[in-house]
Chain A
């Protein structure tokens, strides 16, 4: 039957959720509307801006372009799952301290792309950082401070300053 809700079971930020969703539901809608995890943003209707970026099994993916049911059994991390309680993740801390954040709309997507990068490649070159955030559009910052912040974060995470 059209639109019959189906079972969706997945882990989000370390917690297992069981929901019934209509097949047409996008992952971003489950996050924002069902679970009120509104840190993941919708910035476009053309799968181009990256504000909706989450990590699925550690990889950066646009949650606006994934049917929620395709995330069945997967391990999803959103921006809400990045900090450790009140303690900011080095990526977040670096972006704050370095002044990368202007209006903040792209920021959660930037963090998620950076997180996926540093999980896979703890010592990226500047070129690799640029490539990692290529799919995250920012209308304010001109990107430079985000790139520098991610560099700073990777050094910190390596045990540097």
Chain B
């Protein structure tokens, strides 16, 4: 790695002027579990590093009944083990359990993961399925971005050069909502060859699907909402056949990559399987909630 100038602000207030000053010349490092890999491999060089890992104020999980608020520097491991999360947002704990390895989760942060902007990443797809919003801050103030609007392209997110992510906000799920995440892994913790985060909301009483989110990971240049597949479910009673159909439609909406883990064709087949599986579990959760 090349030498860089290093700043380690201890508060957001100390960090923001640095971002304002250096803008795109600086890279923020949190846990570094994604950033250091690309830096060590020479894929990224930077003259300035702003190390925010020491900003203890951004490590929190709160649920005040009006929704979940997760500080951007909360460790993956903390989310995985949090009783607050496991109570009402079990899908997040399950997703974290399958994310990389314990060592990575002990140092890496949820905010760092989201800002790295890997379309193969799991958290973004689950947060989109949960209708999450992100709070970002700069010297100019704060703003809220829909999780769905955050990803722009491979490893590109909607942060201005002088902004940093401070909080993830997840609204309380509507009644009769279930969310599940499934991904194709060779080894537990692998990045999904393909992944699906699905949430289904049923109208009370008659089992008709009122709303659905089907979000694919590693299927496009960003986490992809399969809106046509969602439309097949909305307004209908969800049957097994319909779940299969949703998987097939989602697959046709995807533009999966080709690499050593699979061809585009293979991924398309697997999208069908994993969307159906995730949707099945989401439906079971929605029915029993």
Contacts and interface: CB of A to CB of B under 8 A. Distances in A.
A22 interface: yes
Contact of A50 (B32, B40, B53, B103): B103
B252 interface: no
A23 interface: yes
B29 to A, nearest CB: 7
Contacts of A59: 77, 106
Contact of A67 (B3, B36, B104): B36
Nearest to B41: A45
B99 to A, nearest CB: 11
A135 B100 contact: yes
**What is the size category of the interface that chain A forms with chain B?**
20 to 34
A132 B106 CA distance: 12
A122 B203 CA distance: 46
B84 interface: no
A23 to B, nearest CB: 3
B32 A2 contact: no
Given A46-B37, A50-B101, A135-B102, A66 B3 contact: no
Contacts of B3: 2-3, 22-24
B103 A62 contact: yes
A78 interface: no
A131 B187 CA distance: 11
Contacts of B164: none
B60 interface: no
B4 A70 contact: no
B1 A24 contact: yes
A47 B6 contact: no
Interface in A19-78: 22-24, 26, 45-47, 50, 53, 56, 59-62, 64-67, 69-70
Given A1-B5, A2-B47, A70-B53, A65 B187 contact: no
A67 B29 contact: yes
A132 B97 CA distance: 11
B49 interface: yes
A23 B36 contact: no
Contact of A65 (B36, B49, B51): B36
Contacts of B107: 56, 61-62, 65-66
Interface in A118-136: 131-132, 134-135
A4 interface: yes
B2 interface: yes
A117 to B, nearest CB: 8
A45 B38 CA distance: 10
A92 interface: no
Contact of A53 (B8, B53, B103): B103
A65 B188 contact: no
11 contacts: A2-B5, A23-B5, A23-B49, A61-B103, A65-B107, A67-B29, A67-B32, A69-B8, A70-B53, A131-B102, A131-B188
Given A24-B1, A53-B103, 7 more contacts: A23-B5, A47-B36, A59-B77, A65-B37, A65-B104, A67-B29, A135-B189
| Closest 5 pairs (CB-CB, A-B) | A135-B101, A3-B3, A23-B6, A59-B106, A2-B3
